[in-house]
Amino acid sequence: TQLLEQSPQFLSIQEGENLTVYCNSSSVFSSLQWYRQEPGEGPVLLVTVVTGGEVKKLKRLTFQFGDARKDSSLHITAAQPGDTGLYLCAGAWRGNKLVFGAGTILRVKS
């Protein structure tokens, strides 16, 4: 069974602070995706990383894929209340099937 462990499970910070969410596995994935999910809605894809060591930036969000393609991190700079939500990492397994982590609930207080 392929497992993706996310940490922390819950994060409550003040507006303007920085944070990092981690996604770790003992398995190698062909690609890794990060999603953001708001209450009552489906996950929305933020980014896909494919190459070991890859770094992608999306405004204040920086995503990194580990060299061995087993782990990833999401760093948010100067968090804002609008960043509040559930952040999910998902590894692509055997091409099409995604294995999801349990998620990190982020709350940014103004």
Q: With binding defined as CB under 8 A, does residue 107 bind another protein?
A: no
Q: With binding defined as CB under 8 A, does residue 91 bind another protein?
A: no
Q: With binding defined as CB under 8 A, does residue 60 bind another protein?
A: no
Strand partners, 33: 48, 90
Do 36 and 108 contact (CB within 8 A), yes or no?
no
Which x/- pattern, by CB under 8 A, does the window 30-59 give for another protein? -x-x-x----xxxxxx--x-----------
For 44, other C-beta atoms within 10 Å of its C-beta total 11
* C-alpha separations of 12 from 33, 92, 108 in Å: 23, 29, 6
Contacts with another protein by CB under 8 A: the residue count is 25
Q: With binding defined as CB under 8 A, does residue 102 bind another protein?
A: yes
Spatial strand order of the sheet with 55-58 comes to: 5-7, 19-24, 71-76, 61-65, 55-58
Q: With binding defined as CB under 8 A, does residue 23 bind another protein?
A: no
**Which has the closest alpha carbon to 32: 45, 14, 18, 20?**
45
Q: With binding defined as CB under 8 A, does residue 62 bind another protein?
A: no
Q: With binding defined as CB under 8 A, does residue 98 bind another protein?
A: yes
Which residues in this chain contact another protein in the complex, by CB under 8 A? Answer: 4, 6, 31, 33, 35, 40-45, 48, 88, 90, 92, 95-103, 105
